[in-house]
Structure 1
Amino acid sequence: MKANNAETPDSSNGADIFKWIVTFVLLAAAVVGNYLYGEMSVVIRAAGVVVLIAAALAAAATTTKGKAAIEFAKESRMEVRKVVWPTRQETMQTTLIVLAVSIVMALVLWGIDGIMVRLVSFVTGV
């Protein structure tokens, strides 16, 4: 990952604010438009909402934070490619081990609980 400690200049800060306003206006238009045009076909409304959300994402992606989020997603994808995933056999074995240990621990705790209940009832005389 890249370490980006530099502060953004003030000139792009105003543009970013405008882009965020456009993003929120587009999202609000998607919600309000879907509500106001409730009598229209669901397919048309869904297409309109998808288009407005895509436009809002495109506007947000051009901001400084949006570019950083996209860069983070790209770097995360590269890291996921480096992961060595277990085989099906390893997954099944691990799952069965966890299941067996959980059952054994449940039985042990059930036994301890039964002993404790009998002990408390013996001491209290209930």
Structure 2
Amino acid sequence: MSNPNVETVTSTADRIKLGLAFVVFVAGLAGFYAFANSPMIARVGVIIAGILVALAIAWFSEPGRRLVAFGQDSVQETRKVVWPSRKETIQTTVAVFAFVVVMALFLWLADKTIEWVLYDLLLGWK
């Protein structure tokens, strides 16, 4: 793992690769609209092809390799997470719903009380 305090400099070649990847991605999107009279499967295929080619080009740049390494590290970290059991998930969900219902009733009661005080007592409207 690299030192987070050290700035990494993107080389000119990497910038060109990332720029080319962006251009290919935009070309894939433009192709979707350029083939407006073609079947939808062909139009979607052009977008998917553009994305895949752009990813392949970006893969060979240093920022692309760092992104892949970050993704791999993220997957490893999610394996370390202690996920709640089904029972804990249901209990938390019920508690959230109960809180929402209590707050809704409180806000409704507050609204009706303010309405009664303003319109009935102060203004005399009925």
Common fold by TM > 0.5:
yes
What is the TM-score when the length of structure 2 is the normalising length?
Answer: 0.78
Query: Residue 100 of structure 1: which of 72, 77, 98 is its match?
Result: 98
What is the distance in 1 between the residues matched to 2:107 and 2:37?
59
Amino acid in structure 1 at the alignment position of 2:72: K
Tell me the residue number matched to 1:123.
Answer: 122
Amino acid in structure 2 at the alignment position of 1:123: L
Query: Residue 26 of structure 2: which of 5, 28, 43 is its match?
Result: 28
Tell me the residue number matched to 1:4.
Answer: 4
RMSD: 2.4
What is the TM-score when the length of structure 1 is the normalising length?
Answer: 0.78
> Alpha-carbon deviations, 1:9-66, whole Å to 9, x = none?
5xx6110121022212312332333333444444444434323321210111222322
**How many percent of aligned residue pairs carry the same amino acid?**
35
Amino acid in structure 1 at the alignment position of 2:118: V
Does structure 1 conserve the Cα–Cα contact (< 8 Å) formed by 2:24 and 2:54?
yes
Matches within 5 A, 1:1-126: 2-8=2-8, 13-121=11-119, 122-126=121-125
- Secondary structure of the corresponding residue to residue 125 of structure 1: coil
- Secondary structure of the corresponding residue to residue 11 of structure 2: helix
Question: Higher mean Cα deviation, 73-82 or 36-45?
Answer: 36-45
| Structure with larger RCO (C-alpha < 8 A, sep 6+) | 1
- Specify every segment of 5 or more residues in structure 2 that has no aligned partner in the other structure, as ranges: none
Amino acid in structure 1 at the alignment position of 2:17: K
What is the distance in 2 between the residues matched to 1:112 and 1:42?
54
- Secondary structure of the corresponding residue to residue 83 of structure 2: coil
- Specify every segment of 5 or more residues in structure 1 that has no aligned partner in the other structure, as ranges: none
- Secondary structure of the corresponding residue to residue 84 of structure 1: coil
What is the distance in 2 between the residues matched to 1:66 and 1:77?
17
